[in-house]
Amino acid sequence: MISFEQVDKTFGQLVALDKVSFNIEEGEFVFLVGQTGAGKSTLFKLLLKCYFPSGGKIVVDGVDLDEIKPSKVHLYRRKIGFVFQDFRLLPNQNVLENISLPLKIAGADSQLIDKEAEEALDLVGLKDRLQAFPSQLSGGEIQRVALARAVVANPEIILADEPTGNLDIETAKDLVGLLKKINQLGKTIIVATHNFEVVNEFKERVLCLKNGKLTSDEKNGKYRLK
């Protein structure tokens, strides 16, 4: 599903990614770990085509991202659901309206939008909060709404950027458990985090970045970060 081949990304003299290579199969669940500045967000922005690689090749679902025309980038991005680190919920819209936004942007049938949004909310256990506004939600509920918004348009890939960053450990584990549930529906999921306690709770593949380099790729879930 996702292939990085010797991918570099530089910003002037700053090296954000340095010859990073890995393959992620369809339906895999992967933690992308590393301290702040390791290159996790840069990698995600390359996948979203917010950035262009300085070298190497990125292939998603058989398509070389360099070959996607600017006019078609919005269509490519429909493959990807994104959970932002800072949530980005609209404060003047309720939960149902926030979750419906990707469907409205994609031009979905208005008769189906509420149905799909309610199903996404049900998936994350918040169907009873659809009329609430972000200011009325707890931190864990806000993250669940952000996750529902990421999955509502049925993307093939879900990227979650530090989704547990502001949560207590038990709430963080619950959220990753929801991501695992969504993964079992066949979605390919990458979770960027530096919450090592959460990573080690789940037996999943772990890609570790340090100073822009991929330093390890552990598949047995026993990797202990230092």
The domain 2-91+139-218 is placed in CATH, from the list 3.40.640.10, 3.30.310.50, 3.30.499.10, 3.40.50.300, at: 3.40.50.300
- Cα–Cα dist 54/165, whole Å: 29
- Cα–Cα dist 12/162, whole Å: 26
**pLDDT (0 to 100) of residue 220:** 66
- Average predicted confidence (pLDDT) for the chain: 89
**pLDDT (0 to 100) of residue 221:** 59
Rounded to an integer, the average pLDDT of 107-120 is 85
- Domain ranges within the chain, ordered by starting residue: 2-91+139-218
**pLDDT (0 to 100) of residue 197:** 85
The dihedral sign for the CA sequence 26, 39, 18, 218: negative
**pLDDT (0 to 100) of residue 67:** 95
Helix 110-123 to helix 169-183 angle (10° resolution) is 130
The pLDDT tens digits for 147-165 are: 999 998 889 999 999 888 7
The pLDDT tens digits for 4-61 are: 999 999 999 999 999 999 999 999 999 999 888 899 999 999 999 999 999 999 999 9
Please determine, for residue 203, whether its predicted confidence score (pLDDT) is greater than 70: yes
